[in-house]
Amino acid sequence: MIVGAIALTIFLFDRVLWPNRYLAPWVFGDAFYQVQTDEKVVALTFDDGPDPRYTAQIGQILADAGAPSTFFVMGRHVEQHPDIVQTLMAQGHELGNHTWSHPSLKAKSPATIRQELEATDDLLRDLGYTEAIPFRSPLRPQLVHPCPTCSNSGIRPTFCGRCR
Ligand SMILES: [Zn+2]
Backbone conformation region of residue 139, classed left if phi is above 0, alpha if psi is from -120 to 50, else beta: left
Domain annotation covers residue 134? yes
- For residue 37, report the distance from its CA to the centre of ligand 1, in Å: 27
Q: How far apart are CA 104 and CA 81, in angstroms?
A: 23
pLDDT of 94 higher than 60: yes
Between 55-64 and 82-90, two packed helices, what is the crossing angle to 10 degrees? 0
* 100: CATH: 3.20.20.370
Rg (CA), the chain: 17
User: Which domain covers residue 80, as residue numbers?
Assistant: 25-158
CA 119 to centroid of ligand 1, rounded, Å: 17
**164 CA to centre of ligand 1 in angstroms:** 5
| Count of CB atoms situated within 10 Å of the CB of 49 | 24
CB 153 within 8 A of CB 133: no
The alpha carbon of 110 and the centre of ligand 1 are apart by a number of angstroms equal to: 20
Total domain count for the chain? Answer: 1
pTM for the whole thing?
A: 0.75
pLDDT tens digits, residue range 4-63?
Answer: 889 888 888 777 777 666 666 666 666 666 778 899 988 899 999 999 999 999 999 999
Residue 6 lies in a domain: no
pLDDT tens string 135-161: 888 875 554 444 444 555 555 555 443
Domain contains 95: yes
With respect to residue 15, please indicate whether it lies within any of the assigned structural domains: no
**Is 17 inside any structural domain?**
no
Assigned domain for 16 exists: no
- In tens, the pLDDT along 96-135 reads 999 999 998 877 888 888 899 999 999 999 999 999 898 8
Residue 13 domain-assigned? no
